[in-house]
Every structure is written in C-alpha cells, then in structure tokens.
Amino acid sequence: MKRRESLLAILSKYPAAGNVKTRLGEAIGMDYAADLSKAMLLDLIDNHRRQSYDLSLEIDDTEYVAVLKQLVPHVPVRVASGECLRGPRSVLWDVFTHHLQHYRKVIAICADTPMVGRALVENAFSDLDSCEVILGHDLGPGYYLIGMNEPHDLFSPLKEGKDRRRPYYQETLALIQELDLPYKLVESRLDVDTVEDLYLVKWSAPEGHWTRTIRLLHELGLWVSP
C-alpha cells in the first residue's frame, strides 16, 4: 500500500471541566479552564485545516469520541491506545506506529501549546526529508512537538510520563543521540498551564488566528495587550 505524504496528529483530552488544565482551573475555575482549552483546540485545528498535510485528532478516552466528532466533524478523531504519553504503554508510541504505516512523515503536537503555526509545521515536515527526528522544547521540562519518518521507539524506554517536573525533553534528546539518529530541533514554544503562562503568550503574533481564545480571554479579564 502506498503511503500518503504527511500527517499532523494533535494530541488532546476532551475539554471538560476537571479533565483538562487543572492547574489553570485552580486559579480561574475548572469550567473556565475547560472553555479556554476548547477555544485553543478549535483555533489550533482551524489554523491547520486545508494544508498540504493531513490532520488527525488523537484522544485517550473512548467516552468522548462521539461528542468530539460533533465538535470537529471535519477532522478524523482517533482513540490512541496507551496509558500515558511516555512509558511502557505510551500513547505517543501508538500514534507513530499506527500512522507511519500510512504516512511517510508524522508530526505529533500537544493541543495546549499555542503558537504552533503552519509555517513551523511545514518547515518541520520539510526537515524530515533530511533527518529522522524533529523535536520542539516546550520551555519547561517537556516537549510540545515530535516528528519522525520511521517509527523509532523514543517513548517506551522512559518511565510513565505523569511527573510534570521530570526532564522528558532532555531524556528524549539523550535517547535520540544514543540511538545515533539524525535529528533537528525546532523553535521552542510555551505550554500553557497557568494564568501566568496565558500572559506570556503573544496571541496576536502572525503564527495563526486565535480568535476564539482571544475573545474568551477578554471576557475573563485575562487579556493583556501585546
């Protein structure tokens, strides 16, 4: 079977109160945190629709498949098997082993990292023609983007990825180097977890349109003009 060219897989939880952004919810309320998570997800998807690459929404819970398909009817929704992002039952490993059977290049990004625009993703896909792994630091201990053109297991050897303080970016980079894989690092992006993070994002930057998110930030009194 001939493989298609490129797929962008967006990893997300369903934006329900208490299911997403709980650290942010502790400050502004779980309902508002879920609303912001939903706005960011919809804006992110809109920014990557109708591009040269295909799109897939990857979730980890079958309970929300039907409602997500109604929320984003134009995007395939897939339940990725696994118990956490990294570790012996890695969701990321399932995403790559599944999709690289059908695509030459796959990039996975986290839905709660804004400012991941089309140009960044297109350049990353282009870089996968000359290297095997792409990695993007999230300005914390983890990463917001990883891409491959062959399924290299950079996830199962690590312990389960539930400790937000653990340096998963450095551990993954060390594993890439240990396996002697040609790689490239892309621009860092901020992962939104707290109110302070919301203020640090340049929502008006020319890296996409964040209309829903900006409108909600205004309504919640959390907007800071750039």
Contacts of 88 (CB under 8 A, 6+ apart): 156, 160
69 Cβ neighbours under 8 A, 6+ residues apart: 77
pLDDT of residue 226: 59
Instruction: Summarize the confidence of residues 146-152 as an average pLDDT.
Output: 97
How far is 28 from 166, CA to CA, in rounded Å?
26
Q: Which three-class secondary structure state does DSSP give residue 175? A: helix
The lowest-confidence range among 125-134, 149-158, 161-170 is 161-170
The secondary structure of 23-71 as a DSSP string is: HHHHHH-HHHHHHHHHHHHHHHHHHHTTSSSEEEEEES-GGGHHHHHHH
Helix, coil or strand: residue 126 = helix
Where does the pLDDT of residue 162 fall: very low under 50, low under 70, confident under 90, or very high at 90 and above?
Answer: low
Instruction: Output the pLDDT for position 102.
Output: 96
Whether residue 81 has pLDDT greater than 90: no
Please give the pLDDT value at position 119: 93
Per-residue pLDDT band for 163 (boundaries 50, 70, 90) equals low
In 3D space, the residue among 46, 100, 104, 52 whose CA is nearest the CA of residue 75 turns out to be 46
Give the pLDDT band of residue 158 (cuts 50, 70, 90). Answer: confident
The SS3 assignment for 170 reads helix
Looking at residues 10-38, what average pLDDT do you find? 94
- pTM, two decimal places: 0.94
Number of helices (H) and strands (E), helices first, in the chain? 8, 7
Chain mean pLDDT for the chain: 91
Q: Which residue has the tokens 């969701």?
A: 91
pLDDT tens-digit readout, 94-133: 999 999 999 999 999 999 898 899 999 999 999 999 999 9
Pull the structure tokens for residue 38: 């939903």
Of 188 and 226, which is predicted with more confidence? 188
Distance CA 198, CA 111 (A): 14
Q: Across the strands, what pairs with 186?
A: 136
Q: Are 24 and 194 spatial neighbours (Cβ–Cβ below 8 Å)?
A: yes
Per-residue pLDDT at 225 exceeds 80: no
pLDDT at 160 over 70: no
User: Does the domain spanning 4-219 belong to CATH 2.30.29.30?
Assistant: no
Contact status, residue 204 vs residue 226, Cβ threshold 8 Å:
yes
Report which of 37, 36, 42, 22 is spatially closest to residue 218, judged by C-alpha positions: 36
